[in-house]
Amino acid sequence: MNILLLGSGGREHALAWKMSQSALCSQLFIAPGNAGTEACGTNVPIAVTDFDAIGKFCKDNNVEMVVVGPEEPLVKGIYDFFKADNALKHIAVIGPSREGAQLEGSKAFAKAFMQRYNIPTAAYREFDTENYEEGLVYLHAHATPIVLKADGLAAGKGVIICQNHVEAVAEFELMIQQSKFGDASKKVVVEDFLSGIELSVFVLTDGKSYVVLPEAKDYKRIGVGDKGLNTGGMGAVSPVAFADAPFMKKVIDRVVEPTIQGLKKEKITYKGFIFIGLIKVGDDPYVIEYNCRMGDPETEAVIPRLKNDLVELFKATDAQQLDTVSMETDPRKTVTVVAVSGGYPGEYEKGNRIDGLELLNEDDILVFHAGTKREDNDIVTNGGRVLAVTAFGESVKRASEKSKAILQIIEFDGMYYRTDIGYEFYES
């Protein structure tokens, strides 16, 4: 079967790497892809939101499956676009319908959904220009810290944790009255601050049944010791030692099951990944957010641990046969360390040559490309997050040492990476 994967990050390189190993995959196309995905298939210069061009490409190239990496095309309704077109509707689209993608596309939708199904999450209220004054009163009476969330997609920047009331009121005003995040912050969710350790749980659902992938933890801050600015993600580790069997049972019973049952009950079409961002408060899981896709860089740590054929899993997802699948996981640990461009998450340069990639050939090390592109015979930087290096190890510490050893061979101007990914789990 010919498959088209949408996206261009480290997540997509990891998915492409895994799918290209499947006997079910004849031709793999990646739109737009990066310099790493070239080794797994054919890059196609089409933007992930250009639905007309994507549809035409699928018709012209006999594509039978589209796997959607990032959230934007999902929230914009790529699933519905395919299903509404007679010449495209036979194509399996791995990703939820526009309505299902609201779990990520609207924080207010996700909170109301969780409330309807008693899924544990922080208490909240939602505000817009209509009840703005009421919002101010609510903020003043709220214990600090206060969490403000832009309702819509805000490129990962829409969550602000305010330490005091002055800051909260100022941000609230900026978001609602000054459109700080454009239309995404016309509506704002104000929620209680939860204190605990975070982890990410990944579910693949066919709308009836589901499978759970290995869990992971990502490291969002730029600096060692979780200090400094928030980024798209500087690294990840899988498994997560504190997510033991009793804890994961709570996650399944209290979060995953009611989520799937809720989607079913509301007849929301969902054939794709659900990424559940959780926080462990005491011994209990609370949902921080849903995403309608896999995480990045978590995918680069999780997918290498998956022993199943990923295309087979996607076929079962489309056919609503995930109940017949059993998951197999590599027991080894993975640590993914992301190398970023100097200055990221602020301003950074692009176009710097990356050296050393040709020297790497260890088979338990995977170098996934994120922001890279080919320029003549060179591979150059093309984004903030440039490479994601994943190593396997019997322990987290060993895996982390291996990733870092590889990063010492790779060079580009301004290269930076965190040296402490997985630090809380070095003993595991």
Q: In this chain, which of 147, 354, 391, 407 binds ligand AMP, going by CB under 6 A?
A: 147
Binding mask 238-277 for ligand AMP (x = CB under 6 A): ---------------------------------------x
Interacting partner of 191 out of ligand GLY, ligand AMP, none (Cβ under 5 to 8 A depending on kind) = ligand AMP
Interacting partner of 72 out of ligand AMP, ligand GLY, none (Cβ under 5 to 8 A depending on kind) = none
Q: Which is nearer to ligand AMP, 271 or 280 (CB)?
A: 280
Shortest distance (Å) from residue 298 CB to ligand GLY: 6
3-state SS record for the chain: CEEEEEECCHHHHHHHHHHCCCCCCCCEEEEECCCCHHHCCEECCCCCCCHHHHHHHHHHCCEEEEEECCHHHHHCCHHHHHHCCCCCCCCEEECCCHHHHHHHHCHHHHHHHHHHCCCCECCEEEECCCCHHHHHHHHHHCCCCEEEEECCCCCCCCEEEECCHHHHHHHHHHHHCCCCCHHHHCCEEEEECCCCEEEEEEEEECCCCEEECCCEEECCEEECCCEEEECCCCEEEECCCCCCHHHHHHHHHHHHHHHHHHHHHCCCCCCEEEEEEEEEECCEEEEEEEECCCCCCHHHHHHHHECCCHHHHHHHHHCCCHHHCCCCECCCEEEEEEEECCCCCCCCCCCCECECHHHCCCCCEEEEECCEEEECCEEEECCCEEEEEEEEECCHHHHHHHHHHHHCCCECCCCECCCCCCHHHCCC
Q: Which is nearer to ligand AMP, 121 or 382 (CB)?
A: 121
Are residues 322 and 210 in contact, defined by beta-carbon separation less than 8 angstroms? yes
* Residue 122 contacts ligand AMP per CB under 6 A: yes
Interacting partner of 104 out of ligand GLY, ligand AMP, none (Cβ under 5 to 8 A depending on kind) = none
Among the candidate windows 10-18, 61-69, 188-196, 341-349, which touches ligand AMP by CB under 6 A? 188-196
Interacting partner of 193 out of ligand GLY, ligand AMP, none (Cβ under 5 to 8 A depending on kind) = ligand AMP
Interacting partner of 198 out of ligand AMP, ligand GLY, none (Cβ under 5 to 8 A depending on kind) = ligand AMP
Shortest distance (Å) from residue 104 CB to ligand GLY: 9
Shortest distance (Å) from residue 355 CB to ligand AMP: 34
Q: Which is nearer to ligand AMP, 38 or 289 (CB)?
A: 289
* Residue 198 contacts ligand AMP per CB under 6 A: yes
Distance CA 90, CA 407 (A): 43
Q: Which is nearer to ligand GLY, 105 or 233 (CB)?
A: 233
Tokens for 307, please give them. Answer: 């022993």
* Residue 298 contacts ligand AMP per CB under 6 A: no
- Across 153-180, b (16+ Cβ under 10 Å) vs e yields bbeeebbbebeeeebbbebbeebbeeeb
Shortest distance (Å) from residue 220 CB to ligand GLY: 7
Shortest distance (Å) from residue 192 CB to ligand AMP: 6
Classify the C-alpha dihedral 92-94-98-99 as positive or negative. Answer: positive
Are residues 126 and 115 in contact, defined by beta-carbon separation less than 8 angstroms? no
Interacting positions 375-414 with ligand AMP (CB under 6 A): none
Interacting partner of 304 out of ligand AMP, ligand GLY, none (Cβ under 5 to 8 A depending on kind) = none
Please list the residues that pair with 272 across neighbouring strands: 205
Binding mask 277-296 for ligand AMP (x = CB under 6 A): x----------xx-------
Binding site for ligand GLY (CB under 6 A): 218, 233, 291, 295-296, 298
Q: Which is nearer to ligand AMP, 223 or 277 (CB)?
A: 277
Q: Which is nearer to ligand GLY, 295 or 371 (CB)?
A: 295
Q: In this chain, which of 57, 193, 416, 423 binds ligand AMP, going by CB under 6 A?
A: 193
Binding mask 148-167 for ligand AMP (x = CB under 6 A): --------x--x-x------
Q: Which is nearer to ligand GLY, 290 or 425 (CB)?
A: 290
Binding residues for ligand AMP (CB under 6 A): 122, 147, 156, 159, 161, 191, 193-194, 198, 277, 288-289
